[in-house]
Amino acid sequence: MMRRIILGAAIAATLAIAACGGGSSSSAATAGASSPGTGTSAASKLTLAAQVGQKAFFDQTLSGGRNMACASCHSPQYAYGPPNSLSVQLGSDPTKAGVRATPSLRYKDATPPYSDNAANPDGVTLAAAGGGFMWDGRAPTLAAQAGLPLLNPLEMNAPDNAYVVAAVQSGAYADLFRQAFGADVFADVDIAFADLGAAIQAFESEDISFHPYTSKFDLYVHNKIGGTLTAAEIRGLRIFNGGDAGNCSACHYAGVNFDGNQGLMTDFTYQAIGAPRNDASIPGNPDAIPANADPAYFDMGLCGPYRSDHAPATPDTANAFCGKFKVPTLRNAATRSAFFHNGVFHSLNQVVHFYDTRDTHPEFWYPASGGSGSPQATPAWALQPTWTPGATVRKFNDLPLAQQGNVDEEVPLGSGNAPPGNVNATTLGDGVQPRAAGSAASMSEQDIADLVCFLGTLSDGYQPPAGAPTTGACVN
């Protein structure tokens, strides 16, 4: 979905209160983290259902190997995201690895149900696919989402509902489960399994650690003490909102969402970004996704393999849903070490450079063949270490050719200056064409550094320093 939007009033208001000054971009990923007996949210403040969900969230016995809990991949110490830099996590069966990167579970409570024609919170963009849980939106609620990893053989690997329910029934919180859902709750396995999902949803909805709003950005946007952004962070904010450069806010909406929350940094939509395939085509790739070793395998998000309602008629039939994955929140993105649905990138600096140079220098990101002359070195942040002049680049190599027309070419990926109606096979219908290979990037290195500095202000657990710093990459 192509969206060169005019910034909304809420974003304009955010810029209006920008001011240079002191502060720090440092933050802690651990703020608000809770676990049984140690959480900041006392159990007495949670409903009985949420107390059950809290215990289940940290219960390793629910997994097939009795060695993995929800918290194993969604660590409270890492903003309920992965506790390591692996592209995808190993499962309860350690010989098997997942196929998608683990997202953070923070700020999910505001996610609307999935719809093919969901309203966009910016109030400008037309309705499109949006909402739902998981990278492909196939779970309608947090309760339904909680059950999917439990039964996935690549994740928690429980064989069936009965196994999970039996583990709860024989566990230390069985009586609490009965108190919350009824004395005969274990009489029907499927109902008990659904209640377990509802309990986990209650925990994620009620416990403040899942939506703490304790970042520097929150202090800033609400004009609170300690929320003064530095000069670098303000420049980064302007790039984030700028329609002719970063344009991040087009998808990572920074305004007030449907539920009144400010700055969730997502519009809940689905986009095809053309992320490089995470496989052996990246030289020295330490954690290629095992499933990608099969050249016939493609993870195409909304059109499969996990959901089938938008599957193309044949692999060679173009389908507008293919290759699209949910736009994640950028809150706490600076605490992560794996980015995009396939975890192919490992730093925000690398991610922003990809957005800026995907079309101008695809040889930095995608495998190539042919060419002549000596291989040339690429920048340190590129995936491909060298390129050969004249080589043919296999751009968008993680999508079948028939689906590559879905790839987003909005600024900074697209030029934004093609005449209306000038549509070709690689555009999405609003006249935006990719910037020509070899042309100038949209952002300077300073722009990129400033944008990364601003993204650092979105991390929870920010503690204003005693004095304003005078040196550092994110100060002046």
Q: What is the CATH number of the domain that holds 156?
A: 1.10.760.10
Q: Identify the residue whose tokens are 């950028």.
A: 330
State how far the Cα of 381 lies from the Cα of 373, in Å rounded to an integer.
Answer: 23
- State mean pLDDT over 299-322: 95
Q: Are residues 161 and 199 in the same domain?
A: yes
Does residue 289 form part of some domain? Answer: yes
Q: Are residues 334 and 388 in the same domain?
A: yes
Confidence band, pLDDT 50/70/90 cuts, at residue 8: very low
Q: Are residues 244 and 156 in the same domain?
A: no
Supply the pLDDT for residue 322: 97
Does residue 108 form part of some domain? Answer: no
Does residue 96 form part of some domain? Answer: yes
pTM of the prediction? 0.87
Last residue of a domain, one of 157, 189, 210: 210
Q: Are residues 204 and 216 in the same domain?
A: no
Does residue 236 form part of some domain? Answer: yes
Is the pLDDT reported for residue 424 higher than 50?
no
Does residue 106 form part of some domain? Answer: no
Q: What percent of the chain lies above the pLDDT cut of 90?
A: 74
State how far the Cα of 238 lies from the Cα of 247, in Å rounded to an integer.
Answer: 9
Q: CB of 62 within 8 A of CB of 108?
A: no
Q: Are residues 301 and 230 in the same domain?
A: yes
Q: Are residues 205 and 218 in the same domain?
A: no
Q: Identify the residue whose tokens are 């190997």.
A: 65
What is the domain count for the chain?
2
Q: Are residues 95 and 84 in the same domain?
A: yes
What is the domain range of residue 217? Answer: 1-29+116-134+212-476
Does residue 171 form part of some domain? Answer: yes
Does residue 82 form part of some domain? Answer: yes
Is the pLDDT reported for residue 221 higher than 60?
yes
Q: Are residues 67 and 206 in the same domain?
A: yes
Supply the pLDDT for residue 29: 44
Last residue of a domain, one of 210, 244, 273: 210
Could you tell me the maximum CA-CA distance found in the chain, to the nearest angstrom? Answer: 76
Is the pLDDT reported for residue 31 higher than 60?
no
Q: Are residues 166 and 274 in the same domain?
A: no
Q: What is the mean pLDDT of the chain?
A: 87
Q: Are residues 385 and 341 in the same domain?
A: yes
Is the pLDDT reported for residue 339 higher than 70?
yes
State how far the Cα of 328 lies from the Cα of 376, in Å rounded to an integer.
Answer: 35
Q: Pick the range with the lowest mean pLDDT from 14-28, 81-95, 287-301.
A: 14-28
Radius of gyration of the chain (CA): 23
- State mean pLDDT over 62-74: 98
Looking at the DSSP assignment, which residues form a beta bridge with residue 282?
none
Q: Pick the range with the lowest mean pLDDT from 32-46, 365-379, 383-397, 401-415.
A: 32-46
- State mean pLDDT over 408-435: 44
Does residue 110 form part of some domain? Answer: no
Q: Are residues 206 and 329 in the same domain?
A: no
Confidence band, pLDDT 50/70/90 cuts, at residue 125: confident
- State mean pLDDT over 4-25: 35
State how far the Cα of 354 lies from the Cα of 329, in Å rounded to an integer.
Answer: 18
